[in-house]
Amino acid sequence: MGLGSAPLSTVPPIYKLHKNHFRPATRAFPAALRFVQKSIAYSWNERRQKLAVGCSQMSVDKGIIDEACELVNGTELTIEDEGEVIPAYLFTAVKNNNGTGILLLSDIFGFHDSATTDFAYRVACNGYNVLVPDLFRGDSWRKDRPQALLEEWIAKQKPEHMTRAIFASARWIKDELAAAGISNKLGIIGFCFGGGRVIDIIAQDQDAYFGSGVSFYGTRIDSSVASKIKVPLLLITGDEDALCPITKLEEITKRNDSAKVVVFNGRGHGFVHRPTAEEDADAEEAFNIMRNWLHDGLLVQK
């Protein structure tokens, strides 16, 4: 069941649903389009089949033309940081580009996994420039690996390396937007392992790259850093997710008034970006809540 009937525990005020989740598309302006032309090497439509992404799950109101979802460009790129190279995907809206960047942090399966690229594409459909960096330096977890080796693999993912890659990626997209005359703050989204890193990163964000954050069922969360977070943080999980206990999220909201929690009844780990059915009302509702949160935090609050 969705948020409408979900028991939302005892945390501070929860993000309220809008009667209509959809926000009008932001009118494109020349600076944003110049950024798209500068950064994209070729049309995303040429890459759609290879990376297996689509916009079919996204519901579009009558006021928005269907072409909006199709006008997303994408490319593979590399970001250089102190001699290291960070592979990434960049998805940018063309017709309805709002000039705002989003950093998307993947789960353990990496930036190239179709569930992550599909979600990034859907976010870009809403006008954003979405950068998905490789957090694992070419060594993401593979589904064919024995589960017994997972903890050993996670231990090899050094927090300092990951943090440096994330901030290097944030600087890159911030600089690209600045070169196009845009100074908007970035949003940051993460799933699972990446969701936990969202909390770490915005707590360390001394250069104030980010203006809003969304963590979907974050894992390995350090709630002690919550008091250092200076931007609105949305936390979404299911009440049957053992990897993201509601009590851990409650600890964050007790330390930070800007953090809000949304809990979906009967849902486990990964239900938003890896829905088990083609039509998943909870996954769609969670996406819409995220969309409104980003709109309010990044576009309305400029």
Q: What is the pLDDT along the chain (302 residues), one digit of tens a residue?
A: 333 333 333 333 343 333 333 333 333 333 333 333 334 333 334 444 333 333 433 333 333 334 445 689 989 999 998 888 999 999 999 888 999 999 999 999 999 999 999 999 999 999 999 999 999 989 999 988 999 999 999 999 999 999 999 999 999 999 999 998 888 899 999 999 999 999 999 999 988 999 999 999 999 999 999 999 999 999 999 999 999 999 999 999 999 999 999 999 989 888 899 887 777 899 999 999 999 999 999 998 65
Q: Which residue in 56, 298, 290 sits closest to 195, CA to CA?
A: 290
Predicted confidence at residue 40, as pLDDT, reads 38
- Round to whole Å and give the CA distance between 283 and 272: 4
Predicted confidence at residue 250, as pLDDT, reads 94
pTM, entire model: 0.79
- Round to whole Å and give the CA distance between 72 and 29: 16
Strand arrangement, sheet containing 101-105: 72-81, 84-93, 129-133, 101-105, 186-191, 210-216, 233-238, 259-264
Predicted confidence at residue 70, as pLDDT, reads 62
Phi, psi of 42 (to 5 degrees): -160, 165
Look at residue 216 and give its three-state secondary structure. strand
Q: How many CB atoms lie within 10 A of CB 168?
A: 17
Residue 6 has which token pair?
């979900």
- Round to whole Å and give the CA distance between 263 and 247: 11
| Cβ neighbourhood burial of 33 (10 Å; 0-12, 13-18, 19+) | middle
Compute CA distances 136 → 87, 165, 231, whole Å: 10, 9, 26
Predicted confidence at residue 90, as pLDDT, reads 96
Look at the chain and count its residues.
Answer: 302
Residue 126 has which token pair?
């809403």
Predicted confidence at residue 302, as pLDDT, reads 59
